[in-house]
Amino acid sequence: MSLNPIGPIIVGAVIGLLSGFFGVGGGFLLTPTLNILLNIPYNIAVGSGLCQMIGTSTSGLKRHHRLGNISYKLGLIMLGGNIAGVLVGTRLLNRLKSMAQIRIGSVTVNALDLILNLIFTFLLLGIGVMMGLEAVRRSRREEEPEVRVKAPPPKIYIADQVQVSIPMILMAGFLIGTMTGLLGIGGGVVIMPIFVYLLGVPTKMAVGTSLFLVLCSALVGTIGHALSGNVS
């Protein structure tokens, strides 16, 4: 597969700017952009995108570490479920990669492209809604949102008067890890609302800790996809 390096350089530069600002690795934009604009197969876009994400998340992580915005206790517990999810997501992608093409009327499409395009469409719509709700909350200068979910025990303190449920952390980590392995996203856009709205983590701590998880997810995902031949 021949590829003009200018395209990936421009895409990487633009996506990289988003990482430090929003606490995300940018994979939710990078993976579909590589496929749709640069015509890179989805399995290669997922694996290579995770590899690139290691660099973007590391640069943002350094700044938040200096500011003390990272709860390593929360991040390490969540990582247990996250690693398991990444492995599951990677296997799902490899299974989709081996599927035959799908015929819709007179058009024949790749099964992997069709399924991932549908997933990314709904994911981006959901992200747009969440960003809109967050913008409204900030414009009204509202306090940190209260936790709306009654979380099961056992629980741990990650900061003064901030207590989170270990089972919920592990389940959230598994969900996000599965998305990482399947879609090539670090999960920052999903981690943030889970941290803030479900677990009650302060926003600044949520941003820093999400970048820590994005980096760890990207490392595990890159290794898994490299072994499957999905990294260019």
Q: Each residue of 176-199: pLDDT tens digit?
A: 899 888 888 877 777 887 888 777
- What pLDDT is recorded for position 151? 65
Q: Is 165 helix (H, G, I), strand (E, B) or coil?
A: strand
- What pLDDT is recorded for position 88? 93
- Residue 42 pLDDT grade (very low, low, confident, very high; cuts 50, 70, 90): confident
Instruction: Give the pTM.
Output: 0.79
- What pLDDT is recorded for position 84? 93
- What is the per-residue pLDDT across 102-134, written as a single tens digit (0 to 9) for each? 777 777 778 888 888 888 888 878 877 877 776
Q: 165: which residues sit within 8 A by CB, 6+ positions away?
A: 151, 152, 153, 154, 155, 199
